[in-house]
């Protein structure tokens, strides 16, 4: 009897040891941005989608300083999927030290192009700022240092013939903290790069008279790709009576070449099977489109994502 039990135990252990890795628990850390931005609610939705849709998945949402930090974390293997701006992604691939990338990040792979970020500059109405040229001599928050938003700020000011030296003061603060300073009259304007309907700017507009500052089309054109002229539609924010010209840049979901192909295939598939969930999480989700997801990627697609797009006839 003892011999039979020993054999049975050994056989069970052998099965357990030889079980395929695909059945093991898969950890998925979703790297987002500040909790008052657009990346975070979309990331929470993705985490929920993956937790329910990928067998054995254990998910987590991590709030970060967004693009630059996210890309470095993905390269270091500290996340499985991350949100990023397209310009930061291109600079990471080439290893731009000034942008926050000490070496080229060659493990980065595209999961999907998602929605465009609109650069939105909100100023206290009393500051008298209506266009980017009016920012000279004013105080401005440009996002966390070396964040994707701050990269946008440097590029836009430069294309408009301005630099940080032309401003009275520059603050490097996340969206919500910038708005708190404006409410207390300690800051005149904040530059925020996100989807339309930014929660921090909505909060500000609900308690202060503000102006949404225009960035003329010629500034966007001078910047070149991946930037493009765009419009913030009238009524996006309380008190905004007309359309406002601005600059847009695409957002991407990225992963690492080290994440298994099947996992990335499932992550990609579930994005497009749950667009309604993403739209419910934030209005920017309405701009995510399968037709645009794999077009002109600035870095290579992950094989798992590529397999999905080929199946869908999008490559």
pLDDT, the chain, mean:
91
CATH code, domain with 41: 3.40.190.10
Give the model's pLDDT for residue 22: 41
Residue 6 included in any domain:
no
Contact partners, residue 194, CB within 8 Å, separation at least 6: 37, 38, 39, 117, 118, 120, 149, 175, 284
User: In whole angstroms, how far apart are CA 51 and each of 70, 270, 281?
Assistant: 21, 11, 16
What is the count of structural domains for the chain?
2
Per-residue pLDDT tens over the stretch 19-61: 444 446 899 999 999 887 889 999 999 999 999 999 999 999 9
Same domain, 69 and 217: no
Give the model's pLDDT for residue 167: 98
Res. 226 pLDDT band, cuts 50 70 90: confident
Same domain, 124 and 243: yes
Residue 127 included in any domain:
yes
Q: Is the pLDDT of residue 16 over 70?
A: no
**Model's pTM, two decimal places?**
0.77
Q: Is the pLDDT of residue 2 over 60?
A: no
Give the model's pLDDT for residue 180: 96
Residue 9 included in any domain:
no
Same domain, 44 and 94: yes
Give the model's pLDDT for residue 24: 67
What range does the domain containing 177 cover? 117-249
Residue with tokens 């240092």: 145
Residue 59 included in any domain:
yes
Residue 13 included in any domain:
no
Residue 3 included in any domain:
no
Per-residue pLDDT tens over the stretch 251-305: 999 999 999 999 999 999 999 999 999 999 998 899 999 999 998 888 999 999 9
Give the model's pLDDT for residue 39: 93
Q: How far is CA 293 from the centre of its chain?
A: 14
Between 98 and 71, the higher pLDDT residue: 71
Q: Is the pLDDT of residue 74 over 90?
A: yes
Residue 17 included in any domain:
no
Give the model's pLDDT for residue 188: 98
Q: Are strands 108-124 and 57-62 parallel, antiparallel or unpaired?
A: unpaired
User: In the chain, what percentage of residues exceed pLDDT 90?
Assistant: 78
Same domain, 131 and 240: yes
Q: Is the pLDDT of residue 222 over 50?
A: yes
Same domain, 214 and 269: no
Same domain, 79 and 167: no
Same domain, 131 and 219: yes
Same domain, 191 and 149: yes
Out of 23-27, 159-163, 230-234, pick the least confident: 23-27
User: In whole angstroms, how far apart are CA 247 and each of 155, 207, 230, 273, 296?
Assistant: 11, 26, 5, 30, 19
Same domain, 199 and 220: yes
């Amino acid at each position: 009897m003892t011999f039979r039990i020993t054999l049975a135990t050994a056989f069970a252990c052998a099965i357990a040891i030889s079980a395929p890795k695909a059945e093991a628990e898969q950890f998925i850390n979703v790297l987002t941005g500040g909790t008052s931005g657009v990346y975070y609610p979309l990331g929470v939705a993705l985490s929920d989608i993956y937790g329910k849709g990928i067998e054995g998945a254990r998910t987590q949402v991590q709030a970060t300083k967004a693009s630059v930090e996210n890309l470095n974390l993905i390269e270091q293997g500290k996340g499985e999927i991350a949100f990023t701006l397209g310009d930061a992604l291109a600079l990471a691939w080439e290893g731009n030290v000034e942008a926050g990338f000490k070496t080229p990040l060659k493990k980065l792979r595209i999961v999907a192009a998602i929605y465009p970020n609109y650069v939105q500059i909100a100023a206290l109405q009393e500051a008298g700022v209506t266009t980017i040229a009016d920012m000279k001599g004013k105080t401005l928050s440009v996002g966390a240092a070396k964040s994707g938003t701050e990269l946008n700020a440097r590029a836009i000011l430069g294309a408009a013939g301005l630099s940080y030296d032309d401003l009275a003061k520059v603050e490097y603060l996340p969206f919500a903290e910038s708005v708190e300073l404006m409410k207390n009259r300690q800051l005149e304007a904040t530059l925020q790069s996100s989807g339309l309907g930014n929660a921090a700017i909505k909060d500000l507009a609900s308690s202060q008279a503000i102006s949404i500052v225009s960035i003329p089309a010629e500034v966007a054109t001078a910047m070149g790709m991946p930037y493009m002229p765009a419009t913030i539609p009238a009524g996006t924010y309380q008190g905004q009576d007309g359309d406002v010209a601005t600059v847009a840049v695409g957002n991407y979901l990225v992963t690492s070449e080290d994440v298994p192909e099947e996992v990335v295939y499932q992550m990609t598939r579930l994005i497009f099977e749950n667009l309604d969930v993403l739209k419910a999480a934030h209005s920017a989700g309405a701009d995510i489109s399968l037709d645009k997801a794999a077009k002109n990627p600035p870095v290579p697609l992950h094989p798992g994502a590529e397999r999905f797009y080929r199946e869908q006839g999008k490559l």
